[in-house]
């Protein structure tokens, strides 16, 4: 059975409907753009699957990076934002002594990490 989910990503103000097949096992499901309901200011120049892919990539990257930080520092509190070039900025606060070099090695240099 095909379901449609309305997605409000927490990384922007876009609203996207995507479809997926409940008859497939979870690890084989593919989310397919059904329609763009609303584009935010940041993504207004993108259309169709390019729009969906950009929003999805930003959202997934943010989630992956935060998860990776918590794998190293389980007690970390992570706030995030985007800079003016839409680069992800992570502000990390932890009871542990945080080694930014270890985090950068684990998650890569695609983000900016601030220890606060």
Question: Residue 10, Cβ neighbours under 10 Å: how many?
Answer: 9
Per-chain mean pLDDT for the chain: 90
Q: Rounded to two decimals, what is the model's pTM?
A: 0.85
Top-confidence residue, 71 or 18: 18
At residue 23, the pLDDT reads 95
Q: Which whole-number Å values give the CA distances from 100 to 5, 13, 27, 35, 87, in the listed order?
A: 37, 30, 33, 40, 17
């Amino acid at each position: 059975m095909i379901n449609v989910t309305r997605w409000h990503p927490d990384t922007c103000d876009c609203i996207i409907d995507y479809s997926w097949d409940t008859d497939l096992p979870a690890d084989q499901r593919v989310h397919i753009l059904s329609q763009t309901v609303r584009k935010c200011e940041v993504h207004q120049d993108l259309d169709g699957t390019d729009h969906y892919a950009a929003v999805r990539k930003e959202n997934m990257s943010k989630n992956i990076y935060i998860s990776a930080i918590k794998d190293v520092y389980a007690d970390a509190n992570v706030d995030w934002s985007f800079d003016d070039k839409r680069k992800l900025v992570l502000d990390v606060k932890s009871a542990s002594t945080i080694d930014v070099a270890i985090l950068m090695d684990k998650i890569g240099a695609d983000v900016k990490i601030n220890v606060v």
